[in-house]
């Protein structure tokens, strides 16, 4: 029986985390092939809708990897990303998805080994959550009448509160 590898989406800053991932490859360091990298000019460009849409599109886990605090090429992009990841984690919890499936990493460009290690550890963490069946909440979604709907529209998540800047 083949084990299903979790689908991981990694939103990476071009200047730091993406460069670290490239360095890991140049150094021939292994990290899971199921980590799909999306290069962004800055993690400050990631918004909660992008993160939540990754889960709608059947990602098992989402990494947001950017510059270290204080070293963002766009001054405060990584600070914005931290706030947006926190907001998205709240929305995941409200939707019945374990918020541990979304995580923020700070990885400098010179740390290829750290990128590889972070990708491996995050993939292992998501695999463990899959084994435990800890991806969904215990209570199903229901509408006002108490009828179970079992589905969540990504446009509805966070509709009552605005996303942080």
In a domain, 151, yes or no: no
DSSP 50-86: HHHHHHHTT-SEEEEEEPPTT--TTSSHHHHHHHHHH
User: Which domain does 117 fall in, by range?
Assistant: 8-132
pLDDT number for residue 131: 87
User: Which residues, 6 or more positions from 119, have their beta carbon under 8 angstroms from its beta carbon?
Assistant: 8, 10, 21, 31, 32, 35, 63
Average of per-residue pLDDT across 69-84: 93
Average of per-residue pLDDT across 59-74: 95
For 150, phi then psi, to 5°, come to 70, 5
In a domain, 68, yes or no: yes
In a domain, 157, yes or no: no
In a domain, 85, yes or no: yes
In a domain, 29, yes or no: yes
Cβ atoms 66, 76 nearer than 8 A: no
Tally the domains of the chain: 1
pLDDT number for residue 30: 94
In a domain, 140, yes or no: no
pTM: 0.81
Q: How far apart are the first and last CA of the chain?
A: 46
Per-residue pLDDT band for 75 (boundaries 50, 70, 90) equals very high
| Residue 160 confidence (pLDDT) above 80 | no
pLDDT in tens, 117-155: 999 999 999 999 988 876 554 444 444 444 444 554 544
Residue 32 C-alpha from the chain's centroid: 15
| Residue 156 confidence (pLDDT) above 80 | no
pLDDT in tens, 8-17: 999 999 999 9
User: Which residues, 6 or more positions from 147, have their beta carbon under 8 angstroms from its beta carbon?
Assistant: none
The residue among 136 and 6 whose pLDDT is bigger is 6
Distance between CA atoms of residues 101 and 46, nearest Å:
16
pLDDT in tens, 15-58: 999 999 999 999 999 999 999 999 999 999 999 999 999 999 99
User: Which residues, 6 or more positions from 111, have their beta carbon under 8 angstroms from its beta carbon?
Assistant: 20, 23
pLDDT number for residue 80: 95
CATH (domain of 103): 3.40.50
In a domain, 153, yes or no: no
In a domain, 165, yes or no: no
């Amino acid at each position: 029986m083949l084990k299903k590898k979790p689908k991981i989406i990694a939103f990476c800053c071009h200047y730091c985390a993406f460069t670290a991932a490239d360095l890991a490859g140049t150094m021939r360091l292994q990290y899971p092939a199921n980590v799909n990298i999306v290069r962004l000019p800055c993690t400050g460009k990631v918004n909660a809708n992008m993160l939540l849409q990754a889960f709608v599109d059947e990602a098992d886990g989402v990494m947001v990897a950017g510059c270290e605090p204080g070293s963002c090429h766009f001054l405060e992009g990584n600070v914005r990303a931290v706030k947006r990841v926190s907001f998205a984690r709240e929305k995941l919890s409200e939707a019945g998805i374990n918020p541990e499936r979304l995580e923020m990493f700070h990885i400098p460009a010179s740390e290829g080994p750290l990128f590889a290690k972070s990708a491996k550890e995050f993939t292992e963490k998501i695999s463990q959550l899959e084994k435990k069946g800890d991806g969904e909440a215990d209570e199903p979604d229901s509408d006002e009448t108490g009828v179970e709907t079992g589905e969540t529209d990504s446009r509805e998540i966070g509709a009552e509160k605005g996303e942080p800047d």
